[in-house]
Amino acid sequence: MSAATMTGRPQSGTSGAGATSGAGARRRLAATGAKVWPLLAAVAGIVAVWYAVTYLVLTPERRFLLPPLHQVLGTTLGNPAVMGPMLDALWQTVGVALSGLAIAVVLGIGYAVVMAQAGWAERILYPYAVILQTIPILALTPLIGIWMGYGFSARIVVCVIIALFPMIANTLFGLQSAGPDAHDLFTLNRATRAQRLLKLQFPAALPAIFTGLRNAAGLSVIGAIVGDFFFQQGSPGIGGLLRTYTLRLNMDALFMAIILTALFGVAVFSVFAALDRAVIGRWYGRGTS
């Protein structure tokens, strides 16, 4: 039995391992704090501006236009008659946004792959994507309603139209980002078109694809709300409730619906940002910063 064991003091190896583990935990805690504090500061700034406008800018008789946050939370969170329909509507919007996003991702990547195969394909097809992006969605929405009705499918179409272009543009950029030396190597090894696409172009395009996915995720939420706002048939979405609350000047419920919508958008963006870091973060040096 060693002297260190007899005296009850820890051995140096164990002490070193514990110190290393503690230092690693402190570094992880510091890294987490560095990411959380800016978000908390941003939220605090928004709340501070909210209260400043409510109590310092608006007169008491006009304060109903921007009720204080505590009043909004107090009159809505504890009222099932308000929160029940609001949560149901939010769930409806979630379904539209995720369905539209999934369709936009599949169509956008497929469209970009076709254009990346040849220069003539890009010259013919890319203008259609640009035209779809530049036409105001509010001009297309009435036509979509007339052609497809005003239910769930029409809302998904609006969502797809808004979210599609970032997937096309970013995926095409990524597929074309592989260097000529890499293409020459695949040519020397007589790689097929499919091998070149799967083993060279897609790996090179992953960062751009995830950038497009994050942008499309945020736009899909906007598209779902726009569709809910204009298409009133079927189960109401959160956009439909926003319209109803606006017409009734129900400001407490209106701001609560806006808060829920913002939280949903942030959650969707955060999920895909985390997926980006998990899949390619360490590869491209994003995960630890």
Measured CA to CA, the distance from residue 123 to residue 177 in angstroms comes to 18
CATH of 68-281 among 3.40.50.300, 3.40.109.10, 1.10.3720.10, 3.40.718.10: 1.10.3720.10
CB atoms within 10 A of CB 183: 14
Q: In terms of Cα–Cα distance, which of 220, 224, 217 is closest to 274? A: 217
Instruction: Report the pLDDT value the prediction gives residue 288, as an integer from 0 to 100.
Output: 43
pLDDT digit string (tens) for 183-209? 778 888 887 888 888 888 888 888 889
CB atoms within 10 A of CB 232: 15
pLDDT digit string (tens) for 141-186? 888 888 887 778 888 999 999 999 999 999 999 888 887 887 778 8
Q: Please give the structure tokens belonging to residue 177.
A: 């980002």
Q: What is the 3-state secondary structure (H, E, C) of 142-157?
A: HHHHHHHCCCHHHHHH
pLDDT digit string (tens) for 232-252? 766 778 888 888 888 888 899
Which class for 92: exposed (0-12), middle (13-18), buried (19 or more C-beta within 10 A)?
A: buried
- Cα-based distances in Å from 141 to 145, 151, 164, 229: 6, 12, 16, 10
Instruction: Report the pLDDT value the prediction gives residue 168, as an integer from 0 to 100.
Output: 93
Find where tokens 């990411």 sit: 35
Helix spans in 176-287 (H): 180-188, 193-196, 202-230, 238-248, 251-276
pLDDT digit string (tens) for 87-143? 988 898 899 999 999 999 999 999 999 998 888 888 898 899 888 888 888 788 888
Q: Is pLDDT above 60 for 2?
A: no
Q: Is pLDDT above 60 for 6?
A: no
Find where tokens 């939220």 sit: 43
- Written as one letter, the residue type at 12 is S
Q: Is pLDDT above 90 for 229?
A: no
pLDDT digit string (tens) for 28-81? 666 666 667 777 888 888 889 988 988 888 888 888 888 888 888 888 888 888
Q: Who's near 127: CB < 8 A, 6+ residues apart?
A: none
Q: Who's near 176: CB < 8 A, 6+ residues apart?
A: 116, 201
170 vs 266, higher pLDDT: 170
Contact 196, 204 (CB under 8 A): no
**Rounded (10°) CA dihedral 127, 149, 156, 165:** 10
- Written as one letter, the residue type at 193 is R
Find where tokens 């501006």 sit: 49
User: Please, what is the end-to-end C-alpha distance for the chain in angstroms?
Assistant: 47
In the chain, where are the structural domains located?
Answer: 11-60, 68-281
3-state secondary structure of 7: helix
Rounded to a whole number of angstroms, the CA Rg of the chain reads 26
Contact 224, 100 (CB under 8 A): yes
Q: Is pLDDT above 60 for 12?
A: no
Instruction: Report the pLDDT value the prediction gives residue 170, as an integer from 0 to 100.
Output: 93
Measured CA to CA, the distance from residue 261 to residue 249 in angstroms comes to 18
Q: Is pLDDT above 80 for 23?
A: no
Instruction: Report the pLDDT value the prediction gives residue 278, as an integer from 0 to 100.
Output: 80
Q: In terms of Cα–Cα distance, which of 107, 115, 125 is closest to 175? A: 115
